[in-house]
Amino acid sequence: MNSKKHAADEPLITFARFLEARGLRMTRDRRVIIEQVFEVHAHFTMDDLFVALRLKGERLSKTTLYRNLPLLVESGLIRRVPGESSDGRFEHVLGHPHHDHLICLECGREIEFTCTDLEAAQDNICRRHGFHPVWHRLGIWGYCRRCRSRRPATQSAPATSCVAASRKKER
């Protein structure tokens, strides 16, 4: 068990350092949390994490998660996912360098992408405003190829219907 190399090894060290600097302790529970967080390459909620840990047989309480995730955020290992209706969602930072999303209003699928043109345009804007960007998030809502071919009518949905349609997604 100790011999297996985990994706969590690096974050573990980072976090240990962070804790030490604040006079906090690296506990078993914290190790377990980090392992889980870095094992999964996806957004997660407090509850997702809780359930995943339970399924593994770990019995940490939710309180412990609620107390420790903010520390992980502070340490820079994870971040809250900003944006409408992604409240309470987290993602880890390491090995998840950057991505934006296309979100289908019909099937809910999220397509990740990156685009250098986009980044360039953003840099321009920031420069123009004397703004030092640290992190950004772009979401484009619409209809994916699959859904469009199934239901061509949605191809030219007006803006208002978009707002209405997106409602479905509010948790």
Among 26, 102, 103, 126, binds DNA (CB under 7 A): 26
DSSP 8-class letter at 94: T
- Which position among 9, 20, 47, 83 is part of the footprint of its own copies (CB under 8 A)? 83
Name residue 100's beta-bridge partners: 113
CB 95 within 8 A of CB 8: no
Q: Which of its own copies, DNA, none lies near 25, with the C-beta cut-off 5 to 8 A by kind?
A: DNA
Interface residue with its own copies, options 20, 95, 151, 161 (CB under 8 A): 161
Q: Angle, nearest 10°, between helix axes 46-55 and 28-39?
A: 100
Residue 66 touches its own copies, criterion: CB under 8 A: no
Bridging pattern class, strands 100-104 and 89-92 = unpaired
For residue 56, the minimal CB distance to its own copies (Å) is 27
Place of tokens 């949605």: 154
Residue from the set 13, 66, 76, 95 that interacts with its own copies by CB under 8 A: 76
CA 145 to the chain's CA centroid: 24
**Could you say which of 60, 72, 78, 104 contacts DNA (CB under 7 A)?**
60
- Closest by CA position to 74, among listed 34, 12, 18: 18
In the complex with DNA, the residue whose CB is nearer, 1 or 153, is 1
Give contact residues for DNA (rule: CB under 7 A). Answer: 19, 23-30, 45-47, 59-64, 66-68, 70, 87-88
